[in-house]
A and B are shown apart, each in its own frame.
Chain A
Amino acid sequence: MKADQSLDCVGLYCPMPIVKTAEKIKKLKTGEILEVVADDKGIKLDMPAWAKATGHEFLGTEEKDGEIKVYVKKTHD
């Protein structure tokens, strides 16, 4: 998936990827897509839950060789 910005969270565990995502999404424009790269498996359930709670759009997960990429679209400020 093509993203406008990427956030490297490899080596970080819950709650840090979510904390950093919340920080990072503020810097995106509405409609832009953020890619978060992580290796903590918790993110596969955490990111959709975070998106639901904050009202942003969760676009999906890609997984390859233990590296997990999740995509979120910023839908509001």
Chain B
Amino acid sequence: MAEKDKLSIVLFSGEMDKALAAFMLATTGASMGMEVKIFFTFWGLNVIKRNEGSIKSKGLMRKMLNIINRGGSKRLKLSKFHMFGLGTWMIKRLMKDINMPSVEEFIVMAHEMGVKLIPCSTSCGLMGADQEAFRPEAEPLAGAAYFLAEASNSKVTLFI
């Protein structure tokens, strides 16, 4: 294996279940010797926002957005059956029951395995989140051209 196979994922969604799907494939890809990158766009940014503190942004609307749409790996909801938190709580319990890692654990694990976590710069501009809004594991912001350049020489590309 001279050149590593690449896996490039766009995570557009900010829900717990979809984030889990992305991180399961990302960590498996890294285990298989692939070079893995996840691009977080739009609601997906919520997955890699810091869990602690408040997110600083400029302008009333963006400030409000970052309060209502706070994000952080520990605040994610299910895309279905959230049921005011009851469904999400139940799924989290079931995950623990089968020793499945949480999104938080997956992020740390993926980072340690060399998976690159890249926030999309346009989504960041739109939503008023800059580098300091993200966890330390996040890479510098990048744009669509960078993703397409990576995707065009990736064996596998996914949009979640």
A: residues with CB less than 8 A from B are: 11-16, 18-19, 21-23, 50, 53-55
Majority secondary structure of chain B interface residues (helix, strand, loop or mixed): loop
Majority secondary structure of chain A interface residues (helix, strand, loop or mixed): helix
Give the CA-CA distance A18 to B101 in the complex, in Å: 14
Scoring A19, A23, A55 by chain B CB atoms within 10 A of each residue's CB, the highest score goes to A19
**Which B residue sits closest to A52, measured CB to CB?**
B32
Give the CA-CA distance A22 to B28 in the complex, in Å: 9
Task: Let me know if B32 and A50 touch, CB within 8 A.
Answer: yes
B24 interface contact, C-beta 8 A: yes
**Which A residue sits closest to B24, measured CB to CB?**
A15
What is the CB-to-nearest-CB distance from A76 to chain B, in angstroms, rounded to a whole number?
9
Residues of A within 8 A of B5 (CB): 53
Scoring B5, B31, B33, B100 by chain A CB atoms within 10 A of each residue's CB, the highest score goes to B31
